[in-house]
Structure 1
Amino acid sequence: MHTLSKRNTKTWAALLLSGVLLFSMNTPSYAATSTEALTKPSWTSSSLMLSEVNAQEDIRIKEIHAVPSKNLVYVHSYQPVTKINSKTTLDWNLDSLQALDATTGKLKWNVIFHEKSGPYTTYSNSLYADNGTAYVYMEYSDGTKKVYSYNTSGKTNWVKTVNAPSDLYLMNNGTLMIASSTGPLSNGSVRSSISLYDAKGKLITAKTINGAVLKAGNDRIVVDASKQTKVGNYWHQAANPKLEIYDLTLNRLSFYQFPTNANTIGDGGGESLAILEDGSVIMRANFDNTGNKLMGFGSDGKLAWGRSIAGNAFVQTAGNGYTVFTGQKLELYTMKGKVTERMFKDQQDVLTVVEHTQDGNYKIDFANTGYILDPTTLESIHEYTFTSSPEDMKGYSTYTNDIIYNFKNEALSKYVLNTANN
């Protein structure tokens, strides 16, 4: 079943009007939650800096991911290495995946994606299954590209070589999706290879489709099926894409052509494209003369509504809802409309973002106070401050199950929040 690629003005206006008509609601007042002063971590790890090469710079974090069921916390990091001799034609990265004991902070194992006699890493990415399986994608200087699967003991489950630049996605049925594309053909069209694997690395299904995968998650795959345009030596994706939505059987559910006055590239903050747990899709666009809108596609793939938002709004999703953060106001919506809102007076900071935590809550850090918020009510689960160093609020951190892991000065620290506040 397909959505119409061309819509008349009356239909378009009706969709936008229906999107901005919100459910009647009263803005709730939130009971004060005591603010926790995080003065001392439960532990701080040893330095995670690697010493395998001499020309290393600072350590940078790709991902921190805790696995409570296995008492582990992963740190995927890299260290930029400057070109120092004729054997390396590019600056490169020393990548590693380190697993720490979540109780003590001691290193249990690590994997370094480089051998002195082998190629060096130019790009990497990683993601993690609920059972602790780590999937790591690596691109190397000799052109090879590999996907690794590691168990919680640091042993390799399997390794696969892919033939083109790829992205990894974990779907809600536990399968790993690898989307690969060699880039536009001479006429601007793009072909992508989609492969789904089970946890053992067995291929479940595969298909080559027209278009580039924009995002995948839960049980949906969102594809830009438009041709790209070449400007000079570079290809540019369409600002008003032809959007196609697939399910996990790799069947196309729908398509939608954004109008010519739409621009879906690079406007605003947060998630410009998101897939909710029920398979609904939200995509942001800027329309000439009217401004920013969120476009909502239902679980059937059809366009359901368009809702106006501020151009500087920050968008973040969790579960079957999404938030719009503008100024001091955080608003919570579902596909049906507005649920509630919350004001954060005197807390706004130009760098403030809303994050989706590992356990499905919202995390928002201001200059001096941080909040963990319930994704269905926006009520505080935790409010906290780093009293020893407020700058830790801006450090790389992750939250799950009443614990904050914070990275600073080459080491990881664990802060346990007070569950009595729940």
Structure 2
Amino acid sequence: MHISNKRKSKTWAALLLSGTLLFSLHTPSYAAAEQNAPLPKPSWTSSSLSLTQVNTEKDVIVNEVNAVPAKNLVYVHSSQPVTKTSSNTKLDWQLDSLQALDATTGQLKWNVIFHEKSGPYTTYSNSLYTSNGTAYVYMEYSDGTKKVYSFNTSGKTNWVKNVSNSSSMYLLDDDTLLIASSPGVQSNGSVRSAISLYDKKGKLITEKTINGSVLKAGSDRIVVDASKQTKVGSFWQPAANPKVEIYDRTLNRLSFYQFPSNANTLGDGGGESLAILKDGSVIMRANFANTGNKLMGFGTDGKLAWGRAIAGNAYVQTAGNSYTLFTGQKLELYTMKGQVTERTFKEEQPILMQVDRTQDGQYKLDFAKKGYILDPQTLDTVHEYEFASSPGLLDGYSTYNDHIIYQINEDALSKYVLKTASAK
């Protein structure tokens, strides 16, 4: 791993409550935000994010953009594909870097490159970030080694841990880092996972080996698929109707739920098929033969609380203790208790729509020509802006935090400051 302070870089029969949910509809008021405001010109555009250490014409793959207002930083984790050029390299590979830019100027402050010239190359990577700027990066290398790195806001390594098996990382609500590692599927189809929790200093808090694979972790909950997998040809296939177990942060199992045989949880519909809300509630999507799609809600005790029929083409997105369903041109807002409000976007084209959760916990909607930032409790407009070109921000990676959009344009990062109501 090489650390540079110079600019060297370019480039997821249930219980259906029908008519018994609590509905408290809120009528949105949209006048507070500036209407039809064009997206402002960028405050700055960075130099190229492409790494010059490799000879390739392939585009930069941006894995993550993360803003840290408290530290005036913007992180960009990118991977640059590298074509096999010698007999010493068995496969095409990727050159990974973590770059930290000054949020005021866009200038590079530091850069970590996860490759030494004579060392192993990266085959897979992932990254997570805390609100105070700690960056966690997981790397798998061509020699079989797997490492988790922790970096501070100066680009210095806090700690490095070697893991023996392929792993996934998750952040809990107290910034505890969860690492779930598994050697893969055993010959009988079962999976075992080692779960380890670390504090910010890299000290092990607790660990446990469980039956199953971690599907997702967040807030103070861990959702596990405890089913055996089925071999199809030479590949192992997860159960379509899994046995789901929910654990708390002490790795104590709270509950389990066996999806019925007519359920399929594998990738139906759009948006989040499994999500953990801020209070630890869990929602999970499934398609039931002959009846269609449902959202299944598991309460803070981990037990099934309700099932709600949704459209097969509904797009699901969560933020805080709420979730939204976008169907056609209608956006509906729910909590675990029921519907809160809804909003229709008649002038927009849903086929070119995407809904995301922003870093500061709001909803971000991007259409072909227009974008919105919406309040997560009311769907009121916080910002509304038009794109100079179509399809606007859909054609590049972006993140929003604290009235600012950071957008990847080709191989560079641009900063757009949105006007607030007080600034008009």
Q: Normalised by the size of structure 1, how large is the TM-score?
A: 0.94
Distance 1:358 1:117 in 2: 38
Aligned equivalent of 1:288: 289
Q: Residue 55 of structure 1: CA displacement?
A: 2.6
Confirm whether residue 17 of structure 1 aligns to residue 24 of structure 2: no
Q: Residue 27 of structure 1: CA displacement?
A: 6.5
Which consecutive segments of 4 or more residues in structure 1 shift more than 4 A?
A: 24-27
SS of the residue 2:421 aligns to = helix
Distance 1:182 1:56, change over 3 A: farther
SS of the residue 1:169 aligns to = strand
Q: Is the 8 A contact 1:291 1:308 kept in 2?
A: yes
Most deviating of 148-157 and 80-89: 80-89
Alignment map for 1:102-117 (pairs within 5 Å): 102-117=103-118
Unpaired stretches in structure 1, ≥5 consecutive residues: 1-8
Distance 1:27 1:275 in 2: 24
Q: Normalised by the size of structure 2, how large is the TM-score?
A: 0.94
Distance 1:254 1:122 in 2: 36
Distance 2:291 2:367 in 1: 31
Aligned equivalent of 2:385: 384
Distance 2:393 2:334 in 1: 30
Unpaired stretches in structure 2, ≥5 consecutive residues: 1-12
Aligned equivalent of 2:365: 364
Residue-by-residue CA offset, 1:145-178 (whole Å, 9 max, x unaligned): 0000000000000000100000000101221000
Distance 1:239 1:176 in 2: 29
Distance 2:90 2:295 in 1: 44
Alignment map for 1:91-110 (pairs within 5 Å): 91-110=92-111
Confirm whether residue 416 of structure 1 aligns to residue 417 of structure 2: yes
Residue-by-residue CA offset, 1:109-164 (whole Å, 9 max, x unaligned): 00011111011111000000111000000001111100000000000000001000
Distance 1:152 1:17 in 2: 48
Q: Is the 8 A contact 2:191 2:211 kept in 1?
A: yes
SS of the residue 1:398 aligns to = strand
RMSD: 1.4
Q: Is the 8 A contact 2:23 2:338 kept in 1?
A: no
Distance 1:79 1:395, change over 3 A: same
Aligned equivalent of 1:191: 192
- 1:17 maps to a residue whose letter is L
Distance 1:282 1:392, change over 3 A: closer
Distance 1:389 1:329, change over 3 A: closer
Alignment map for 1:22-421 (pairs within 5 Å): 22-26=21-25, 28=27, 30-32=29-31, 33=33, 34-387=35-388, 391-420=392-421
- 2:16 maps to a residue whose letter is L
Q: Residue 391 of structure 1: CA displacement?
A: 3.1
Distance 2:126 2:57 in 1: 20
Q: Residue 346 of structure 1: CA displacement?
A: 2.2
Q: Residue 29 of structure 1: CA displacement?
A: 5.1
Residue-by-residue CA offset, 1:53-75 (whole Å, 9 max, x unaligned): 11351111100000000000000
Distance 1:228 1:108, change over 3 A: same
SS of the residue 2:16 aligns to = helix
SS of the residue 2:148 aligns to = strand
SS of the residue 2:202 aligns to = coil
- 1:335 maps to a residue whose letter is M
SS of the residue 2:84 aligns to = coil
Distance 1:27 1:173, change over 3 A: closer
Distance 2:328 2:403 in 1: 27
Distance 1:200 1:24, change over 3 A: closer
Aligned equivalent of 1:3: none
Q: Is the 8 A contact 1:362 1:373 kept in 2?
A: yes
Distance 2:28 2:103 in 1: 37
Distance 1:231 1:59 in 2: 34
SS of the residue 1:69 aligns to = helix
Residue-by-residue CA offset, 1:19-66 (whole Å, 9 max, x unaligned): x54434556253343232124111111111110011351111100000
Residue-by-residue CA offset, 1:225-256 (whole Å, 9 max, x unaligned): 00011111110110000000000000000001
Distance 2:258 2:293 in 1: 17
Q: Residue 350 of structure 1: CA displacement?
A: 1.7
Distance 1:146 1:300 in 2: 34
Distance 1:322 1:328 in 2: 16
- 1:106 maps to a residue whose letter is Q
Most deviating of 368-377 and 53-62: 53-62
Q: Is the 8 A contact 1:382 1:421 kept in 2?
A: no
Higher relative contact order (CA 8 A, sep 6+): 2
Distance 1:27 1:175 in 2: 36
- 2:373 maps to a residue whose letter is I
Distance 1:21 1:370 in 2: 35
